Amino acid sequence: MLLVRSRSEVGLWSEHTRKAGRRIGLVPTMGSLHAGHTSLIDVARRSVDRIALSIFVNPLQFGPAEDYESYPRDLERDLDVAAAAGVDLVFAPPDVEMYPNGEPGVNVVPVGGVDRLCGRSRPGHFTGVLTVVAKLFGIVTPDVAVFGQKDYQQLVLIRRMATDLNFPVDVESGPIVREADGLAMSSRNRHLSATDRKRALRLSATLRSCAQLFAGGHRDPQDFVRELHRAGGAGVSVEYGEVVHPESLAPVDRVEEGAVCAVAAFVGDTRLIDNHVLGTDPGF
């Protein structure tokens, strides 16, 4: 496995790889790798020959009061995880390599779907995400890029960007990977105290209940919204609990198969998100 820090080295690797007739997959990450990330590598491997994984804690997608400074970073450990998962190249650029002039002179600003769910409380977040992902697409030139379903709104907006800006890349998704007790894997879980770790289970528990409501024939969105807000309580403050259309992300009037139950909550000081696509196997 190669570790490279510069855009030019990635460019050479991609050129060489493509000349050799190999298809390239990209798994963009902010590091602190866990089984959710390795499952994305597995998804990529189904359709490509070589896998590039980027590790970059992107300052552009964090608000001033958010956890950019404290976001977990452990490159040595990440390199071990990536090598064991069969990654061919890790691109771990310093900030100056991604943003040579500090702030970028051009941003990718999403138009629709950004005033919903996480976008409401995180102004500028998805502009930061789309801008860095567009740059990674330009640097790595992947045939396929894989993102996790856990960041559902991010996935929808990246798909839209790739389509609307004609990036020659297939955007694929990997399912949410959960701990045995149902907690969705997230780099931020390591910030949870033992008490908060237990409290965090309320998010997946409400999603499980939503899956049961749907299986039981409920179709009124209010039943689901009420259930999602039950995640709140001692130490857990729900930011949103909504049932939305899978593509527009607008709240639905009637709950149909494919609608997405999405929840965000602060558990102690840690903001967690989770979701479930109704009609699919909850598997938790």
Check residue 157 for interaction with ligand PAF (CB under 6 A).
Answer: no
Q: Which of 132, 134, 144, 273 binds ligand PAF (CB under 6 A)?
A: 132
- Among 151, 1, 162, which Cα is nearest to 91's? 1
Q: Which of 14, 17, 29, 141 binds ligand PAF (CB under 6 A)?
A: 29
Query: Does 37 qualify as catalytic in the annotation?
Result: yes
Instruction: Mark the segment that binds ligand PAF (CB under 6 A) among 27-35, 41-49, 74-82, 84-92.
Output: 27-35
Check residue 30 for interaction with ligand PAF (CB under 6 A).
Answer: yes
Answer positive or negative: Cα dihedral of 284, 244, 229, 186.
positive
Q: Which of 87, 117, 118, 133 binds ligand PAF (CB under 6 A)?
A: 133
Phi, psi values for residue 244, rounded to 5°: -125, 160
Q: Residue 121 or residue 195: which is nearer to ligand PAF going by CB?
A: 121
- Among 230, 175, 243, which Cα is nearest to 201's? 230
Q: Judging by beta carbons within 10 Å of its beta carbon (0-12, 13-18, 19+), is residue 70 exposed, middle or buried? A: exposed
Q: What's the token pair of residue 104?
A: 């970028």
Q: Which of 24, 129, 192, 231 binds ligand PAF (CB under 6 A)?
A: 129
Q: How far is the CB of 221 from ligand PAF (least distance, A)?
A: 27
**Contact mark string toward ligand PAF, 55..74, x via CB under 6 A:** ---x--x-------------
Give how far the C-alpha of residue 224 lies from the chain's centroid of Cα atoms, to the nearest Å: 23
Give how far the C-alpha of residue 111 lies from the chain's centroid of Cα atoms, to the nearest Å: 19
Q: Residue 29 or residue 209: which is nearer to ligand PAF going by CB?
A: 29
Evaluate whether 26 touches 146 at the Cβ level (below 8 Å).
yes
Q: What residues are annotated to the active site?
A: 37
